[in-house]
Amino acid sequence: MSRGVAPSYRLALTGASMVIWAAACTFSASVPVGAPSPGPDAVPESHPLGDALQSLLDQTVRDGLPGVALFLKTPAGQWNGASGYAGLEEGAAMTPSHVLHGASVTKMYVATTTLLLAEDGRLNLDAPIGAYLPESVYRPIPNGSVATVRQLLGHTSGIPDFSGSMAFEMDFLNDPLGWYSETRLLGYLHGQSAIFEPGEGYFYSNANYFLLAMILDEVAREGHGGLIVHRILDPLGLDATFYRERPGWPNPPGLVNSYQDLAGDGRFMNVTDLATHSPTLFPGGAGVMATATDFARFLEALMGGEILGPDALAEMRAHTTSPRYGLGLHFLDTPWGPAIGHSGGDMGVLAQVRHFPERDATIVLLSNGGDGGIPERLFSRLWDEVVAAALANE
């Protein structure tokens, strides 16, 4: 399961649970000292801040981030670089051509696909989810009989998350690499209370997008994964993006190793198996993997009207004031105007994929250091530094 903009948690492995799980792992690696060159795949291209951006990446790696990749495009030009390691054990340098996890960034792709089906007339955003799912699925879920597709998209359904179940927390702790069927996962929602009446609040729940994936699978013969591949990835030529139904997923060529500083002591545990396994269990909320360039290309195409028509895009961008979340899009308020897109965080995953419409800029920052603790603080600091450097003079 993937953490996006809120609430702040990781899939079951939090606090003492993470320490216990770490004790069962047999692999670890020290944080590298210094950073290798970005490698032959880096294309500085035309941005005048290229050297300064590379210095920021390198310094963050020296401070303790295992690896990082950046794509930046502003009116001054574009730049794609990387620093640190794609694999600490073998000392493999991170390059711009490496594939990284997007975690909850996946929700933008699922939301876009849902709106494409609505444009096609195959799905009604304001219909209850029971119009598309069997009664045995929706009725036992809190608010399942009354929540709409639109409310799933905007996290206003009031449906709780899997992590609200103590049984889920304990089961996943005891068997983090096990298989959890659709029926078993939905069972963790049964018996929980609704967070609020549908439409009367906001609560970020991965269960919303799990249900959306189920709905798309019911509506479209090719399933939600096939829709993403055939309606988005293939038409845009996003050959370095991987999701269900794309050959190579969930272990595509060029996928980096994932690491977590579980003890907060500057040493990383290799959590690659968990980072790769978790998205296979939770379709809809996580699982898209791509290069920084491909993530940026998708968001630019979406914001530029290449995927959705103007009415559907306007619906997607309509958002509440607090928090500022539309239909699969999160809005950050910054000194340089709104930053539209999505974040992602999980074990061994950190991601920011954002478009700044008032500055005609797109910035994608990805890391294979997991959310929480030192890596997340470094990643957040680096994001602020990159955005300020890139947009202060635009």
pLDDT digits (tens, 9 = 90+) for 140-158: 999 999 999 999 999 999 9
Instruction: With respect to residue 202, please indicate whether it lies within any of the assigned structural domains.
Output: yes
Counting Cβ atoms within 10 Å, is residue 270 exposed (0-12), middle (13-18) or buried (19+)?
buried
For 277-319, the DSSP string reads: HHHHHSTTTS--EE-HHHHHHHHHHHHTTSSS-HHHHHHHH--
**Whether the predicted pLDDT of 52 surpasses 80:** yes
On whether residue 9 sits in a domain, the answer given is no
Q: How many domains does the chain have?
A: 1
- The pLDDT of residue 205 is above 90: yes
User: Which tens digits make up the pLDDT trace of 213-235?
Assistant: 999 999 999 999 999 999 999 99
Distances (CA, A) of 287 to 1, 12, 245, 283, 378: 9, 17, 12, 7, 24
What would the two tokens of residue 289 be?
């993997």
pLDDT for 29 beyond 70: no
For residue 26, the model assigns a pLDDT of 36
pLDDT of residue 321: 66
Arithmetic mean of pLDDT, 180-206: 95
- Residue 3 falls within a domain, yes or no? no
Q: The domain that contains 139 carries what CATH number?
A: 3.40.710.10
Residue 8 covered by a domain? no
Please check whether residue 53 lies inside any domain of the structure: yes
Q: Using CA atoms, how far apart are residues 265 and 77, in angstroms rounded to an integer?
A: 39
Average pLDDT over residues 91-96: 97
| CB-based burial, 140-157: b 16+ in 10 Å, e otherwise | ebbbbebbbbbbbbbbbb
**Nearest alpha carbon to residue 374 among 252, 267, 244, 255:** 267
pLDDT of 68 reads 98
pLDDT for the residue numbered 172: 87
Residue 279 forms part of a structural domain: yes
7-11, 93-97, 284-288: lowest mean pLDDT where? 7-11
12-21, 208-217, 360-369, range with the lowest pLDDT: 12-21
Query: What pLDDT score does 46 carry?
Result: 79
- Whether 2 is covered by a domain: the verdict is no
Which residues constitute the domain of residue 277?
16-391
Confidence of residue 372 (pLDDT cuts 50, 70, 90): confident
Q: Is the pLDDT of residue 389 over 80?
A: yes
Mean pLDDT rounded to a whole number for the chain: 89
158 within a domain of the structure (yes/no) = yes
